[in-house]
Amino acid sequence: MTLGLYPGCSLKGSSREYAESVLAIAKACDIELVEIEDWNCCGATAAHNLNKELSLALPARILSLAEKQGLKEVVVPCAACYSRLTVTKYELAEHPEFKKVVINENKLEYTGNVEIINIIQFLDKYILPNLDGKITNPFDHKVACYYGCLLVRPHAILKFDREEDPQTMDELMLKSGATPIDWAFKTECCGAGLSVSRTSSVGRLSGEIVKDAIDRGAEALIVACPMCQSNLDMRREAINTYLGKKVDIPVMYVSQVVGLALGIDRKALGLQRHFVPVKI
Amino acid sequence: MSTETHHAAVSGLSGEVLEGTGVAVSHCYQCGKCSAGCPLSGEMDYPPSYIMRMLQTGDPVLEDKILRSFSIWVCLTCEMCYARCPMSIDIPQMMDFLRQKSLREKKVHRDAKKILAFHRSFLDSIKYTGRLYEIGLLVDYKTRTLKIMQDMILAPKMLVRGKLNIFPELIKDRSGVAAIFNKSNKKKK
């Protein structure tokens, strides 16, 4: 079984452990993930804030490369990249006038036939069916599933899970042996792209998320986005400053939890790379 | 997304928004859910529902205030406003449009310079290498903002954890990506 993979920039740098854990569980289930050759950055927040044409053209190049490589379905673990690629595919299908500017004038070949799936859809479709009898170490902890913004919004385009109280990650965690808690900040924003330019805002927004998870008894926050992970984990100092105390709840990728449940070595899942130590 | 225009002021800034994005400001009836749900409204000079109303008036003075506002830059496009809007008005897309116009007309709010500098450093980084080079991004950002000491403690901690690449990842077709950048920068209305 072979699927395409668009890792995106974070998974090659500051969120290396996300890539490591996704590849490790894929391997454990005999799935080969093939990177799109010569892929570029999706443009992220910066492109769509400053330049609409660019924000569509960069993802269009990626999708065009995937088509050229013959990939039918591409896994996009980063929620922000998933959003940009999916929005681009949608815009190009809905607004033919963009095709001229974005596709023709950039001399890209594009038909729009690549299926884009996020990490939860990947786990659901390809990993879960393989789990029977493979869960050797159930992750027996209370967890707060944090979906963030871009995995579920805007629903009109993504058509994935519910915008306010999504359930898909909670179900995955249940199947991995964890107990997902009911809480209020599942899809509140962590501060995202303001991490560097307005760290104090991130401290407040992420601080509220961390606080609610702890108050309701979670032992770990589970995420599906490198931006969410780095804000909740790497920006813990700003969070602690906002909360006025030191909090040590770890922030784990959904793929790391599934990996642990499958009995994969902690180091292979990159758990040692986190700023807030994962002691559970 | 609805593009109907009943009672819409099709001239002025709201007309430009409609033409550029298909977002009909006229559909807003001021319920205020966007401002209530916006995680940044407390840091904004005008919360989203105010911006909607200011646009509806068609008053050039208020339109100018919007383009010079801090709100449009501190908006994170988390899409919560759009999710909760009973009229399904795509406010985030409207914000993107307003930011780009504010930038073209050189009306960017003073306090938003750092946010803009970060976006520019980010795009410059991928323009030349094809992928984000995090060290390059931070150095470029510090040069633009003169925040030399910011995050100095973070970088070595990231290095130890294998979270920072010393060298950029260079894609093969860098000229192809640069051409996409150059073309998109040329044609600005």
| Closest by CA position to B57, among listed B30, B87, B26 | B26
Give every strand in the sheet of A251-253, ordered side by side: A179-180, A142-145, A220-223, A251-253
| Closest by CA position to A278, among listed A119, A141, A127 | A141
Residue A65 CA from chain centroid, whole number: 21
| Closest by CA position to B97, among listed B64, B72, B61, B60 | B72
Chain A residue nearest residue B147, CA to CA: A197
| Closest by CA position to A274, among listed A11, A7, A14 | A14
Q: Which domains does chain A carry?
A: 2-120 (1.20.1050.140), 135-273 (3.40.50.11810)
Mind listing the pLDDT tens digit for each residue in B1-21?
444 545 544 689 999 999 999
Residue A42 CA from chain centroid, whole number: 14
Residue A251: other Cβ atoms inside 10 A? 27
Residues of A in contact with B176 (CB under 8 A): 61
Domain residue spans of chain B: 12-107, 111-186
Mind listing the pLDDT tens digit for each residue in B51-108?
999 999 999 999 999 999 999 999 999 999 999 999 999 999 999 999 999 999 999 9
Q: Is B170 on the interface with A (CB under 8 A)?
A: no
User: Regarding predicted confidence, which is higher, B135 or A263?
Assistant: A263
Question: How far apart, in whole angstroms, are the C-alpha atoms of residue B160 and residue B165?
Answer: 11
User: Regarding predicted confidence, which is higher, B154 or A178?
Assistant: A178
Q: Is A68 on the interface with B (CB under 8 A)?
A: no
Give every strand in the sheet of A32-35, ordered side by side: A32-35, A2-5, A73-76, A115-118
Q: Chain B closest CA to A53's CA: distance in Å?
A: 6
Tell me the two tokens of residue A47: 């492109």
Residues of A in contact with B158 (CB under 8 A): 14, 234
Question: How far apart, in whole angstroms, are the C-alpha atoms of residue B189 and residue B185?
Answer: 10
Q: By the 8 A CB rule, do A276 and A231 touch?
A: no
DSSP H or E stretch at residue A4: strand A2-5
Closest by Cβ to B126, choosing from A41, A49, A57: A41
Check pLDDT > 80 for residue B48: yes
Is A105 close to B183, i.e. CB distance below 8 A? yes
DSSP B10: -
- Rg value, chain B, Cα: 19
CB interface of B with A, residues 73-112, below 8 Å: 74, 76-80, 82-83, 88, 90, 92, 96-97, 99-100, 103
Chain B residue nearest residue A18, CA to CA: B163
CB interface of A with B, residues 19-58, below 8 Å: 38-41, 43-54, 57-58
What's the pTM value of the predicted model, to 2 decimals? 0.95
Is A49 close to B99, i.e. CB distance below 8 A? yes
Residues of B in contact with A16 (CB under 8 A): 162-163
DSSP H or E stretch at residue B92: helix B91-104
Mind listing the pLDDT tens digit for each residue in A69-125?
999 999 999 999 999 999 999 999 999 999 999 999 999 999 999 999 999 999 999
Q: Chain B closest CA to A131's CA: distance in Å?
A: 30
Check pLDDT > 60 for residue B188: no
pLDDT value, residue A194: 92
Chain A residue nearest residue B161, CA to CA: A273
- Alpha-carbon separation of residue A75 from A30, A71, A137, A195, A246 (angstroms): 15, 10, 26, 26, 36
B12-107 is a CATH 1.10.1060.10 domain: yes
CB interface of B with A, residues 150-169, below 8 Å: 150-151, 154, 157-158, 161-165, 169
Which residue type does B7 have? H
The complex scores an ipTM of 0.94
Closest by Cβ to A275, choosing from B90, B115, B157: B157
Give me the numbers of helices (H) and strands (E) for chain B, helices first please.
11, 0
- The C-alpha angle B94, B100, B105, rounded to 5 degrees, equals 125
Q: Chain B closest CA to A49's CA: distance in Å?
A: 5
Mind listing the pLDDT tens digit for each residue in B13-47?
999 999 999 999 999 999 999 999 999 999 999 99
Mind listing the pLDDT tens digit for each residue in B104-132?
999 999 999 999 999 999 999 999 999 99
Question: How far apart, in whole angstroms, are the C-alpha atoms of residue A118 and residue A122?
Answer: 6
**CB-based burial label for B150 (10 Å; 0-12, 13-18, 19+):** middle
Average pLDDT, chain A: 96
Give me the residues paired with residue A253 across strands.
Answer: A223
Chain A residue nearest residue B91, CA to CA: A154
Residues of B in contact with A13 (CB under 8 A): 132, 134, 163-165
pLDDT value, residue B150: 85
Q: By the 8 A CB rule, do A144 and A228 touch?
A: no
Three-state DSSP class for residue A114: coil
Is B83 close to A164, i.e. CB distance below 8 A? yes
DSSP H or E stretch at residue A170: helix A168-175
Residue A115 CA from chain centroid, whole number: 17
Q: Is B135 on the interface with A (CB under 8 A)?
A: no
Q: Is A268 on the interface with B (CB under 8 A)?
A: no
Is A189 close to B80, i.e. CB distance below 8 A? yes
Q: Chain A closest CA to B5's CA: distance in Å?
A: 19
Is A193 close to B76, i.e. CB distance below 8 A? yes
Question: How far apart, in whole angstroms, are the C-alpha atoms of residue A164 and residue A158?
Answer: 14
